[in-house]
Amino acid sequence: MKKLFANPAAAIKENSGRFYRWEYFWLVLIVLAALILHFAVITNPSTPILDEQYYIQDAGDIVNNHETTRIEHPPLAKLIITAGIKIFGDNPWGWRVLPIIFSTATLIFFYLLCRRLNMSRAASSIAVFLLAFENLTFLMGGLAMLDVYYVTFMMAAFLLYAWNKYISAGIATGLSALSKLSGAFGGLAIVIDWIYSYKHARNKRILLTVVVAVIAFIGLMVLLDFVIVRKPTDFLNPVKRIIDMLGLTGGLTYSYANNPLASRPWEWLYSFKSIPVNYVPHYTAAISYSIWVLIVPVFAYLIYRAVKRDEAGLLGLSWFIAAYLIWIPAVLVTQRVTYIYYFYPAVGAICLGLGIALEQLLDTFKNRPSGKLKWLALSAVIAVLAAHVISFILLTPVFA
């Protein structure tokens, strides 16, 4: 104690240095910043945007009439939206508080996943920074739509799988699909990773993930649908329910519903797509410029890391294939209508790969004594991070 009071400046410096070296220092700062920015615009606009209008209206039908008009979707995310409105009111807070909480949990799961995949603290922190302040991720993470919930459960499934908790990973995958059918793609990512992974390949317990995911999806779907309708009905027949959902979602083809805002998934790689939302503040459903221009290079880099048997590279590649590339043959075969925000679940895979790449450039800067390559590496890192911040400022409603 005497030493502390004898030199308080030194004590403050020591404690601040210790906090800076804390494993979760950067994660806490990023999460706090993301929360502040989300809550800064939670009431702007005060009316529903994008597909919020459909799910908020559906929440009213669930509460007042014990029915759902959005029968093409499973029940979990719709019930979470309903719970938010019941707790916080039928207003922007009721619509958007829970999405913000879930999107924040996604960032935490993502950091833990990166670390579990043997990514350094620097690479993991960079990846989380990129994901937290990517425009499409930020936008979808604060809206009363289904996507944020299935992405959170999908990220939880990846983390549990990386922790070798295969049963829990199956439950999380089932919850992801229960939020939106696209959540099943997370299970596909796990299967792809398992097939090619030297770490998991000999562990047949991975089959539990698939089996438990199916059981959780079907069993909880019946239970949660009953929570909505509150009476025996054909709606609770799981086989009929699944067939109806697949039929309704698959029926949204370009010939049937040729929405001018729709775009095909391969177009997202070479043409910047956006869905402008004319509200004040201005919203734009679009991938951040800084991420969009690097999708193909990072995809190639993930392939390289996977071939080198890098655990993070393989899962990132499997994730990107299941969350994005799967849409290309699906649309070619079925002509299913797609929108740019369908890329939202795949953004994390690009941020993961880019985090590794930028950390490698930082290592080049630190380890080379001198030369142009040393400063070129640092310049590239600064350019990418600066472009990411500028993209966020230009696209996000926070600064509109």
Per-domain residue ranges for the chain? 25-32+48-399
As given in the structure block, the two tokens for residue 251 are: 């029926």
Alpha-helical runs (H) found in the chain = 2-6, 8-21, 25-40, 52-65, 76-88, 92-116, 121-132, 135-140, 147-162, 166-179, 184-196, 206-229, 238-250, 267-270, 289-292, 295-307, 311-320, 327-334, 347-367, 372-395
DSSP-assigned letters across all residues of 227-294: HHH-S--GGG-HHHHHHHHHHHHHT-BTTT---TT---TTHHHHS--EEEE-SSS-EEEE--HHHHTT
CA-based nearest residue to 208, from 154, 159, 156, 172: 172
Predicted confidence pLDDT, tens digits, the chain (400 residues): 445 455 666 656 565 566 667 788 999 999 999 999 999 999 888 888 888 989 999 999 998 888 888 888 999 999 999 999 999 999 999 999 999 999 999 999 999 999 999 999 999 999 999 999 999 999 999 999 999 999 999 999 999 999 999 999 999 999 999 999 999 999 999 999 998 887 666 677 888 899 999 999 999 999 999 999 888 887 788 999 899 889 888 878 887 767 778 889 999 999 998 887 655 456 788 999 999 999 999 999 999 999 998 999 999 999 999 999 999 999 999 888 999 999 999 999 999 999 999 999 988 888 777 778 888 989 999 999 999 999 999 988 777 6
Could you tell me the pTM of the whole model? 0.91
CA 365 vs CA 125, 217, 321: distances in Å? 18, 48, 32
As beta bridge partners, residue 275 has 285
